[in-house]
A and B are shown apart, each in its own frame.
Chain A
Amino acid sequence: MLGVRALFGIGLLVTSRGGSVLTHTGACARIASNIYSKDLTHRQACTMADTIKYLGQEEAQHIDEELFDEYSFSVDQLMELAGLSCATAVSKGYPLQSLLKSPPRVLVICGPGNNGGDGLVCARHLKLFGYEPSVLYPKRPSKQLFQNLTTQCEKMDISFLTEMPEVQHKPQRSIPHRSHCRGARCFYFILHPYCVIPMYVYTIMYVCWDVENGCPDGIQPDMLISLTAPKKAANHFKGRYHFLGGRFVPPALEQKYQLNLPQYPGTDCVHQLN
């Protein structure tokens, strides 16, 4: 009777290394088990010895490029996972039952780039989770992907505002709105329990954070959701909740950039960093 080694040995094992094919009897089982055990050992070593890496702008852009060019991910695939992470983080930080007002309204402000796209996906998932998102999307790119994401939101009865609502400064608990910053896959979320009038907002300033240096005069969010890996600007984050999202980084890419990502709990797509 043939053993397990021979099972793999009979067949050809195609690896990811340029599609090379291995035909040696007995080699394949050892290679398959080596592939998996090496990755697990590496991850264990990382979590024990190293802390998570905070990326600079250039590195973050390189990682994005590799995900699309070498790993053949599509933007809409990763955007779906990123948006889902964001919605999940929101629901962990601001559970439905903890919100002040009913219905549980959230304002999602989307910028013109990929971050805006992440926001649209997030809004859609928030709606499915029972929140009542509205979207402010003043500059809509002509790319088909963004138009599609907009339609998906509209068809879920998510309203799109035509202008920024009026705000009032109140010495209350800060609950400003969700906002997007320029920068590689990093945006700042803040929940806004907007009631008709007045709105209670802590700070609204349309000054974007620099991906590496932050901005002391800019929005000071309560929650930060770092996608893929945190950026250097996150060192300046002073809010209550810092989540990591975007659970799609292939182990080889993580090793290449020494991201030292923590282990996500179970099948969760977010991990709280603080």
Chain B
Amino acid sequence: MRFVSLSVFYSKTEVATVETELLRDYHFGQQQLIEIWGHACAIAITKAFPLSSLSKKQPTLLVVCGPEQNGSIGLVCARHLRMFEYEPTIFYPKRSPQSLHQDFTVQCEKMDIPFLSYLPTEVQLLNDAYNLVIDAILGPETDHKEVKEPYAGMLVTLKQVKIPIVSVDVPSGCDVDEPAKDGINPEVLISLTAPKKCATGFSGKHFLAGRFLPYDIQKKYELNLPEFPGTECVIEL
């Protein structure tokens, strides 16, 4: 795994602008992008926590999915982790009404991935049942200042777990543009496409995942992304 240092982190506004351009001008599809991100996330997780490194008898993990795009990325990630022989369980309390996001749910259900109906508040139960938690609750598209229920309560529970947390793109509860302080403090952060400002100074394991960004966009926003080795779609920062 190559380690590279990065000096550019992008803001919430830039994230939104780039995504709009990808959809409107470059004609990427939203499901296509979510598939690319979810797949890359799963690969990053296998690098951070290889099957052989997991301490429990079964390679269980809990994927907690929020209602918007970040949650759907979590669903795709869970599906690929299942293909990679992990045993994910999903907690997805508020399902998106959009059909494109519903498809991701069906795909997971059809892979026989169990869905919990609620998240226990007894933290020890989570510590005992799972090797790690994937935080796919709130992404850069959400307003982190007003975290509504059930997510506020979930974040309180998750902040207390002793098992490692892996955050997808943005640690849930953190302001995208500020160095992280109030939200989840993950052991591993997987930045999608490019790291966000809140990743500045992140002291845990930090991966960049998702190798698809056209060179024009990289130049336009001066992203200075590192070179991915070979055919890898994940790089450790």
Q: Do A and B bind each other?
A: yes
Interface segment out of the listed A188-196, A199-207, A210-218, A244-252: A244-252
**23 pairs from A and B in contact (CB 8 Å cutoff):** A1-B124, A2-B125, A7-B122, A11-B117, A11-B120, A12-B116, A14-B117, A19-B109, A72-B102, A72-B106, A73-B103, A74-B31, A76-B31, A80-B36, A87-B231, A148-B27, A148-B29, A152-B27, A152-B28, A155-B216, A157-B215, A248-B83, A267-B46
Among B43, B83, B89, B231, the residue within 8 A (CB) of A88 is: B231
User: Which of A10, A80, A252 has the largest number of chain B CB atoms within 10 A?
Assistant: A80
User: Which residues of A are at the interface with B, using a C-beta cutoff of 8 A?
Assistant: 1-4, 7-8, 10-16, 19, 21, 28, 31-33, 35-36, 39-40, 70-74, 76-77, 80-81, 87-88, 91, 124-125, 128-129, 145, 147-149, 151-152, 155-157, 247-248, 250-252, 266-267
Q: Is B115 an interface residue (CB 8 A)?
A: yes
Q: Is B211 an interface residue (CB 8 A)?
A: yes
When A and B form their complex, which 8 residue pairs have the shortest distance between CB atoms, in order from nearest?
Answer: A12-B117, A16-B109, A148-B27, A72-B106, A151-B27, A7-B125, A72-B103, A35-B112
Q: Is B149 an interface residue (CB 8 A)?
A: no
Among B27, B35, B112, the residue within 8 A (CB) of A81 is: B35
Nearest CB in chain B to that of A13: its residue: B114
Query: Smallest CB–CB gap between B22 and chain A, Å?
Result: 9
List A contacts of B109 (CB < 8 A).
14-16, 19
User: C-beta contact mask, B107-145 vs A, less than 8 Å → 1, else 0?
Assistant: 101111011111010101100110000000000000000
List A contacts of B124 (CB < 8 A).
1
Grouping DSSP codes into helix (H, G, I), strand (E, B) and loop, the A interface class, with mixed when no group exceeds half, is helix
Whether the Cβ atoms of A129 and B231 lie closer than 8 Å is yes
Among A10, A77, A125, A156, the residue within 8 A (CB) of B31 is: A77
